[in-house]
Amino acid sequence: MGLASQWDRISRALPRGWGSADLRLLVPDRSSRSRAATLLGPLGVGRFEEELRFTVSRTSGVGPDAARRLLANLDEEGITGTVVLARTAAAAAAEPAARPLLGAQWDALLAALPADWSDLLCRLTLASSDDVPRAALLAAPVNPSRPDKDVGFDFRVARNAGYGVSAQMARRCLIRLDEAGIHGSVEVLRALADTQHVATQGPVWIVGGKTL
């Protein structure tokens, strides 16, 4: 079986999602081995006794199709040998998409609310617990309430009157965190619409036995 065909057989058996394959080409004849190393030059061939070692990568360097063409060149010159798979590595995981800034997240949340919303209970979850003290200071105007064992805090927003800061103030505080390089996610836990405050300062939520 020719060298290109041997590579075809190996590549078909590689695991799904493979990123690179380390290969060994065994060429017993010394003169043929030297010529093979020259023809496979683009693969960055290394020599070890009767072996030529090289790597085929799907993400950098020489890819599988180019490797096949190089091995076919050896077939055309009558160079014989055995291609052996030494090791495979999975393709590197793609970098996660960057999380939107907190100010942008807040704008998207408000845009999704019904037109008559009046009161919100929100939660800010921080990417790092190291940022909690600094974030609480920068967002002090929203009167942050620290939920048990959570990395972040809750806060209330009132559209017209009652408990909570305005949506505009909440947004300014979140932008302060963005400017300080503090990352996280913000969400609306509960929302009420068109509440009527009769002899009260607005609705009260009881979460986990705590009044918010």
- For residue 160, name the pLDDT band (cuts at 50, 70, 90): confident
Q: What distance in Å separates the CA atoms of residue 30 and residue 39, rounded to the nearest whole number?
A: 14
Tell me: pLDDT of 166 over 90.
Answer: yes
Query: Residue 156: CB partners within 8 Å, gap ≥ 6?
Result: 119, 120, 121, 122, 142, 143, 163, 164, 165, 212
Chain centroid to CA 9: 33
CA 26, 32, 37, 39 torsion-angle sign: negative
Query: Residue 44: CB partners within 8 Å, gap ≥ 6?
Result: 54, 55, 61, 62
Question: What structural domains and CATH numbers belong to the chain?
Answer: 3-90 (3.30.70), 102-211 (3.30.70)
What integer pLDDT is reported at residue 88 of this predicted model? 82
| CA angle 125–163–131, rounded 5-degree value | 25
Give the residue ranges of DSSP H helices in 89-131: 102-112
Q: What is the pTM of this model?
A: 0.52
Chain centroid to CA 55: 27
Tell me: pLDDT of 205 over 80.
Answer: no
Note the pLDDT tens digit of each residue in 88-132.
Answer: 877 555 445 567 899 999 999 999 988 889 999 999 999 888 898
- The DSSP letter of residue 114 is -
